[in-house]
Structure 1
Amino acid sequence: MYLLLVSVVLLLWYLLFRYKRRRLYQLAELIPGIKDTFPFLGLLKNSYNAVDNAVSDIENISRETFKTGGIQKMWGGPLFFIALTNPADIEYVSKTCLEKDLLIMKSVRAFTGDGGIFAPVSIWSRKRKVIIPAFSPKILNSFMDIFSRRSADLVDKLKELSGTGTFDIWPVINNFTLASIAETSLGIKNLDAMNDVVVSDFLKSVEEIFKVGSTRTLSIWLWPDWIFKLSWQYRHFTKHSNKIINITNNIIQKKRNDLKHVDLNAYENQTIFGQDEKVDSFLDHLILLSQRQNGFTDKELREEITTFLLAATDTSAVAICNTLLLLGKYPKIQEKVHEELVRVFENDKEKSFKDVLNDLKYLDMVLKESLRLYPPVPIIIRKPTEEIKLPSSGYTIPVQTGIIIFIWGAHRDPNYWGPDADCFKPERFEAGSKTGLFIPFSTGPRNCIGYQYAMLTAKSAIASILRQFKVVTEEEDGPIPKIECKFTLMLKSKHGYPIRLERR
């Protein structure tokens, strides 16, 4: 009798659940879907290999979506998702659906809090207004001397490794991007100033946080907070996140004290940073700007700086390493880059470092092609707050939908990039050429605010390296590069970045 009663209650609950979501099921029925099971996120597989399978799932789902006009539905138990690769639909969603799917990204938000990338729209919009001036061209230009100096230090470090055979360049590049970001974002000119942890420990903590974040994101059984807090992953996550939080808290407090007596009127009129007693980092700018506009608390400053440190360190390093690896695989393209470097640096001796970088048109095409094939962030997720109608496919998307924008797929759709979409072909970015949707740093109002910063960091490093060295690795036997990747919230080479450097 008891079992019968329980069965009736469960049946009634299920019927009520289905009834409340009837609109969702009606609209979902009209959308083309992946057959059999839902391979992404490991939801129906219930597999502990979800992280290992993630990259192949991203590729497989993208290619299935190409066949159905750039949209596919996917079920994960009661959770409904759609995959998008269609350019018009992606741009529409990016402009109209500004909320992130916080259920999916909660593993990252446990660390970054309401940092701008993951914050709800109500918080993001206020913070964005304060942050935008800190990424103005004037401020970015003021960092060019730092990029130039850090790139020279990078070359000196690589001189010690050149001629020693094959080595993984990732740790060196990751250290370079951290050093550049620490100086520009925190005003730390010497990484030894990070007394709470040595640099290697800091980078290790970043790596471990991404690993746990991706594991939780791809494992539905770890989504409930109470289960996650019982797991070893939570203890591991907390250990490493506390290291970085302590560092940023200490730096913010010291910065606030240092800036107490800054004249805000003089600050607004300054044009060059890092001279005399003028401020010289993003953190300085955020603290001073926030004093005039709904000031940031120490917690909010920590969220923004922590988010920027984690996101910028790895995205820039991934872009640089992927590009170097591709150039090693295609030496003829590398030689064209080197010829441009010799020509531009010889002819533009009187120009500023930034102007010289702007003249490197072919290097810019190579970097963009690298970001197209291997975007550091291969997917982003949005959630509509009301029903929307997609302009290209015409499907109506219900409120309870997780919209997964497949950047990887949008970058490789042969319907828009042509039959050679999987090929490494920098010339596709020549001025005036028609391309598909290129969004390595997202698009719309919530695009990556540090896009130009990341591009300048990557171009300065790659240019400095290739002026001094030839990058050598196993050459590809065809135009389609084969780099086996892994997904740890970002898309990285699964086997590192083994290269050999030869002095020019």
Structure 2
Amino acid sequence: MYWCYFCILFVVLLWYAGFRYKRRNMYLLAKKVKTPKLLFPFFGVSFEVLGNTEAIMNKMKYYSDFSTSSGGVACGWLGPLLYYLITDAEKIEIVLQNILEKDGLHRFIQVLVGNALIFSKETAMGVQINAQDSQGNLILRAVNESLRLSSERIFHLWLQPDWLYKFFPQHKQLLYHTKIVHDFTSEIIRKKRMDTNTKNKDIGQKPDVVQGNSETTFLDLLIRQSDLRGGYTDLELREEVLTFIIAAMDTSATAMGFTLKLMGKYPEIQQRVFKELDAVFEGSDRLLHKHDLAKLQYLERVIKETLRLFPSVPFVVRKAEYDTQLNEDITLPKGAGIICSIWGVHRNPTIWGPDADCFDPDRFLPKRCKDLPACAYIPFSFGPRNCLGYKYAMMSMKTALSTLLRRYRVVGEPEAGPIPHIRVKLEVMLKAVDEYEIAIVER
């Protein structure tokens, strides 16, 4: 019996020795980069990121600060996984320009589809959720729970293996909530297909012809293209629509939420926004025109400063497919994960000065930001995989915020100083813990 145990132990030790030997280059290169002190070094940061999504974000803020104090690069182990966290603009530029492979952790957020179905009045599918009329909205709750569960899985090592995750109650919860989102979206697609086919038969039009003044949604266009190319299945349609929504809509909604929170904290800045709006619209209640957008320069600076302090996507994660040299001292080893901390580089005092944590929209005046490094400000990422919809996002945010702030004043508890204190959590995107509670009064 003891001989059997000895053999098992010997095989395990032999496997572990081989595992370490194959990764010897990774261990060697990791020793050249500073690592935060840990309570249980053998487990890496696994025990440091316990807790809910607010606690996880607080720890990631700490690691970002540690990276900044260590020259812009730090590393740590999440169990057997090595990650580098970078807050230096020049080094982030090297990563985002040359390392394009997404890290394996992205597989945990593939179930996070349909986030913004509940946020936008002008939807990608032409369907109203009316989430604002009911805080207990089923779709809203399903989306938020899916985000929370997937974010916790990313950082809790024991939840990562698929075979092991099935034994935890979180797996059943995640399946339940994502099924709600999938079923809802699939039903909308089914109805849209029927409506489109009926209209085409009634008017005898070709699938690629759009009628004069009829409203055409993103989903309508995809269905027409599907008919033309013989193409999209319902599953593929769902994936395309939800990818568009999560990438474009929810990030903008999050940014606008933080902007409104800050307007309540800084009434003098909100008043400057209103004065600009009043000057552009000359006190009228006419609708915004596309030519007005370029005139809303202070509002744009407010949005940019909000995205600097509270980026919708605070971290971009890549995986090194080969050894990548950052400088003469640091090489990212093949197989390592690289976390580009947008939160960290946006608050790096070596770039933004000692007031990096302060809310100051005028720091985006042309004369003040003309000499910034390319990756000093990257709320929409950077390089070949940057966000393609950044211009659309800015236009949509300026349109929505100007419409609201012309008619209503945001009321909040004024901040005592220039540094805004908003509790945040990491649920794939950066979100306010209080879910953007604000009060508004009619002007």
Q: Deviations over 1:200-245 (max 9, x none)?
A: 2111111111111112112111111122222221111111111111
The 2-side partners of 1:408 and 1:38 are apart by 26
Q: How far off its partner does 1:376 sit?
A: 1.5
Does residue 201 (structure 1) correspond to residue 138 (structure 2)? The answer is yes
Aligned twin of 2:53: 51
TM-score, with structure 1 as normaliser: 0.77
Does residue 480 (structure 1) correspond to residue 419 (structure 2)? The answer is yes
Does residue 444 (structure 1) correspond to residue 383 (structure 2)? The answer is yes
The 2-side partners of 1:38 and 1:413 are apart by 28
Does residue 77 (structure 1) correspond to residue 79 (structure 2)? The answer is yes
Letter in 2 for 1:386: Y
Q: 5 Å matches for 1:232-311? A: 232-259=169-196, 261=200, 263=206, 266=209, 275-276=212-213, 280-289=216-225, 295-311=231-247
Aligned twin of 1:119: none
The 2-side partners of 1:47 and 1:87 are apart by 25
Q: How far off its partner does 1:51 sit?
A: 3.0
Letter in 1 for 2:19: F
Letter in 2 for 1:72: A
CA 48–24 in structure 1, closer or farther in 2 if over 3 Å, else same: closer
Aligned twin of 2:303: 367
CA 199–97 in structure 1, closer or farther in 2 if over 3 Å, else same: farther
Q: Deviations over 1:102-134 (max 9, x none)?
A: 2x122211455xx9xxxxxxxxxxxxxxxxxxx
Q: 5 Å matches for 1:309-320? A: 309-320=245-256
CA 452–413 in structure 1, closer or farther in 2 if over 3 Å, else same: same
Q: Mark the runs of 5 or more structure 2 residues left unpaired by the alignment.
A: none
Q: Which structure would you say has the larger RCO, counting Cα contacts within 8 Å and 6 or more residues apart? A: 1
Aligned twin of 1:105: 106
Q: Percent identity between the aligned chains?
A: 39
Aligned twin of 2:318: 382
Q: What secondary structure sits across from 1:377 in the alignment? A: coil
Q: 5 Å matches for 1:136-215? A: 177-180=119-122, 182=123, 185-188=124-127, 190-191=128-129, 200-215=137-152
Letter in 1 for 2:384: P
Does residue 502 (structure 1) correspond to residue 438 (structure 2)? The answer is no
Q: What secondary structure sits across from 2:385 in the alignment? A: coil
The 1-side partners of 2:161 and 2:206 are apart by 48
* Bigger mean CA offset, 399-408 vs 468-477: 468-477
Aligned twin of 1:225: 162
The 1-side partners of 2:28 and 2:151 are apart by 32
Letter in 2 for 1:228: Y
The 2-side partners of 1:489 and 1:345 are apart by 38
* Bigger mean CA offset, 306-315 vs 22-31: 306-315
Q: Is the Cα–Cα contact under 8 Å of residues 51 and 218 in structure 1 kept in the other structure?
A: no
* Bigger mean CA offset, 247-256 vs 325-334: 247-256
Q: How far off its partner does 1:453 sit?
A: 3.1
Q: Is the Cα–Cα contact under 8 Å of residues 43 and 219 in structure 1 kept in the other structure?
A: no
Q: How far off its partner does 1:388 sit?
A: 1.4
The 2-side partners of 1:418 and 1:289 are apart by 50
Q: Is the Cα–Cα contact under 8 Å of residues 118 and 129 in structure 2 kept in the other structure?
A: no
Does residue 13 (structure 1) correspond to residue 15 (structure 2)? The answer is yes
Q: Deviations over 1:259-303 (max 9, x none)?
A: 454536656xxxxxx7345x7122223334456679443222211
Aligned twin of 1:343: 279
The 2-side partners of 1:314 and 1:62 are apart by 24
Q: Is the Cα–Cα contact under 8 Å of residues 263 and 410 in structure 2 kept in the other structure?
A: yes
Aligned twin of 1:137: none
Paired residues, number: 428
* Bigger mean CA offset, 11-20 vs 431-440: 431-440
413, 417, 420: which one aligns with 2:355: 420
The 2-side partners of 1:247 and 1:407 are apart by 33
Q: Is the Cα–Cα contact under 8 Å of residues 38 and 76 in structure 1 kept in the other structure?
A: no
Q: How far off its partner does 1:400 sit?
A: 1.2
